[in-house]
Amino acid sequence: MIPKRNIIIPGEISSELKGLVEQRNESQGVLLYSAYPADGELICPVFNFYKTGEGTPGHVSADERKLQAINSFLRQNSGVYSPIIWHSHSRGTVETFGDYFARNFSQEDLRVINKRTSEDPLYLAMLSTPIAHLVSGKGDVSLTFINDFEGFQERNAEINRQLGRFE
């Protein structure tokens, strides 16, 4: 059984995601977190956001070089950091395709999430829109937004340094 996971997103990353959803084009990336057991659940502070691609309203694809960098980082840091696969339904997407996409994953998003969670029960996906943040995965998963937490700045800088070596 998968314990409840509480994803903690600091203000600096929240602001970055908010800026991306206000743009015309969709973006995608990876949120990197560590999991700590506490009172029967996992507290999962996010230490970094790594943007992997940009597209158009309604479509986004990853830069292959960025994907290779994040995959190399995750292999090197296996057991330390886990990914949340993130993408936006940008303001341009909502204006072009309608309000449904401001509150919901698309059918294609859900198809991919279902496939990935069947392969990896710990898989997490997150969607940010101009009005909402949604997270999807097996079990009980919640999002908490806070200003900052101890160690965020140092770990964020270290992750950026390591990712820079892979680019």
Q: What is the pLDDT of residue 100?
A: 98
DSSP assignment of the chain, as one string? Answer: -PPEEEEEEEHHHHHHHHHHHTSSS-EEEEEEE--EEETTEEEEEEEEEEEEEE-BTTB--B-HHHHHHHHHHHHHTTTT-EEEEEEE--HHHHHHH-THHHHS--HHHHHHHHHHHHH-TT-EEEEE-SS-EEEEESS-EEEEEES--TTHHHHHHHHHHHHHHH-
The pLDDT tens digits of the residues spanning 101-113 come to 999 999 999 999 9
Which bin fits 149, alpha (ψ -120 to 50), beta or left (φ > 0)?
beta
Looking at domain 4-166, its CATH class is: alpha beta
Q: What is the pLDDT of residue 29?
A: 99
- Cβ–Cβ < 8 Å for 23, 91: yes
Mean pLDDT score across all residues of the chain: 97
Structural domain spans, the chain? 4-166
**CA–CA gap between residue 114 and residue 87 (Å, rounded):** 16
Q: What is the pLDDT of residue 62?
A: 96
pLDDT at 167 over 90: no
Q: What is the pLDDT of residue 93?
A: 98
The pLDDT tens digits of the residues spanning 65-99 come to 999 999 999 999 999 999 999 999 999 999 999 99
Residues belonging to the chain: 167
Q: What is the pLDDT of residue 75?
A: 97
